[in-house]
Amino acid sequence: YCATDFDGNRPKAVASLNAAFLFRAIANPTKGRVEIEGLRNCLEGLTATLSDQRWKEQRRMAKYVGESAAEVAAASNTSTSTKKPTDPTQFVLVSTCPDAFGNFETPFGEFNGMKRQGEKIVLDEFPSLSYSVLQMGKFDDNFVQEGQELQFADAEEDTVVVDGVICAARTEENVQKAEQKRINRRDAARAAVDALLNEDIEGKKVQVYTKVGVTDIW
């Protein structure tokens, strides 16, 4: 899942001066944020679909063994997980590294804060789904060569809760740090697809990049 309301860290209505996006932002500002409400809608639909498929499978099994679907479910799987051992990771969320972009305030939340809220939704609110959260380095097609080896690093915890809202905490150390993780966008797409079958990062939040360069956030 990599849909977004942003171009970089600016809302599309502002970044592109697109009349359609601007009209939607003014006419219906409470429509919902792709990073949060859109993500939750997607996860709820996926969870419901997988649960329905599992229930239908259990009913088919019940016909063969002469028991109820509930008895088959209890006997075959006591876990709430909807994933079989041979299945790929069910949900991959593409997010951004803390050092990719600076803060950009919008009427409905700050850019980095909304990214972190979306990550927390995946990590905490849908335990039956298998997941991987990829915090991508900043996309750079000009100075980062395509086809380099993907690098993974443990995600840094950079969130704080202010008035019940999850926000990104950008410290002076992070801002002044002269390094910034970067990745060619084609390699980012490759990483997102590879994550479906990468058991090493399943159930984790990791940073993904191919090059570390000088930061452009000051």
Question: Residue 171: enclosing H or E segment and its boundaries?
Answer: none
Are 1 and 34 in contact by the 8 Å Cβ rule? The answer is no
Among 120, 122, 58, smallest CA distance to 91 is for 122
Are 38 and 1 in contact by the 8 Å Cβ rule? The answer is no
pLDDT attached to residue 21: 59
Greatest pairwise CA separation for the chain in angstroms: 68
Are 175 and 217 in contact by the 8 Å Cβ rule? The answer is yes
50 three-class SS? helix
Are 213 and 138 in contact by the 8 Å Cβ rule? The answer is no
pLDDT attached to residue 156: 79
From first to last of the 218 residues of the chain, give the pLDDT tens digit.
888 877 777 776 655 556 665 565 566 655 668 899 999 999 999 999 988 888 787 777 777 665 555 555 555 554 556 667 778 999 999 999 988 888 788 777 788 888 999 999 999 999 999 999 999 999 999 999 999 999 999 997 777 777 766 677 665 555 555 578 999 999 999 999 999 999 999 999 999 999 998 877 65
